[in-house]
Amino acid sequence: MSGNFNSPHPIQPLSVGSVVSAGMRLYRSHLKEYFFIAFKAYAWLLVPIYGWVKFYALSALISRLAFGELVNQPESVSSGERFVNSRLWDFFINMILMLVISLGITFASMLTGGLLIGIPAALLGGLQDGNTANVVILILIVLVVMIIIFTGIVWIGTRFYLVDVPLAIEDDVNGSSTINRSWELTKGNIGRIVLISLVGALITIPIQFIIQIITSIIQLIFTPLLKDGNVGFSIIFSLLILGLTLAGLALIAPFWQTVKAVIYYDLRSRREGLGLQLRDHDI
């Protein structure tokens, strides 16, 4: 499904509100099938390594199905699942590469932060002399360094925001090239993607709040029963909490995957003209 990304006539990007609302409409209209895919994905997390790869692939499957709706090429769940299952090895490679990259970013951030804070602290004599001016300067340096590092992590993380989507959709990518694909697609769109993520996070808060209330009610009901040390009640309670946790995650995950599909669609559309369909009618 890849295309020419060098079109000389890019169209204007969708607004933040349009992207989020499009993702929400897709989420609502396919909630049942997306929920079951996500629930199965999170259940696979209980199986080490292979299950983690299955989780990664099934999550990306939701984006694939949502993208198919956006380009008026809907696909059945079974067909999409066969495609992502055929790429499990690529998803595994990508997962390992992203883990290595994440560890590298973490190490680099710690090293950079240590140097940027440690060198000025050594030059100012640290905090041992109790000099108020030095203390204020060091505090300001720490704050500035933290902001710089946080901004850098967000910037780099956003460039990798779509790594799973091309791998689940495009024919000519693999576990490593999809990283470059995400880097290419997100170029110049960091701020907009971050803003979309912030708005999306606000939308999911009520769902998380409701799940937390239900969890608290279950805990209140089972607390007096668990005090007796009844093994049966303990098992039932554990299964209820596990099931509720999985269900809660499965309710939220499809929304994020559909939003990612819309972002991916929008970024491609501005160079391929795909966005004209989305602008001409509702999803």
Average pLDDT value for the chain:
85
Separation of CA 114 from chain center? 28
pLDDT digits (tens, 9 = 90+) for 256-279: 999 999 999 999 887 666 544 444
Packed helices 190-226 and 231-272: angle between N→C axes, nearest 10 degrees: 170
- Side chain identity at 199, as an amino acid letter? V
Owning domain of residue 170: 16-280
pLDDT score recorded for residue 274 = 58
Residue 10 lies in a domain: no
Residue 64 lies in a domain: yes
pTM of the model: 0.83
pLDDT digits (tens, 9 = 90+) for 87-134: 999 999 999 999 999 999 999 999 998 888 888 877 776 656 666 777
User: Which comes out higher in pLDDT, residue 237 or 30?
Assistant: 30
Looking at the structure of the chain, the number of domains it has is: 1
Residue 5 lies in a domain: no
pLDDT score recorded for residue 10 = 44
Residue 192 lies in a domain: yes
**Minimal CA–CA distance to 268: which of 10, 8, 21?**
10
**Minimal CA–CA distance to 43: which of 211, 243, 215?**
243
d(CA 72, CA 95): 30
pLDDT score recorded for residue 31 = 92
Ranges 1-5, 108-112, 159-163, 239-243: which has the least confidence: 1-5
The percentage of the chain sitting over the pLDDT mark of 70, rounded to a whole number, equals 85
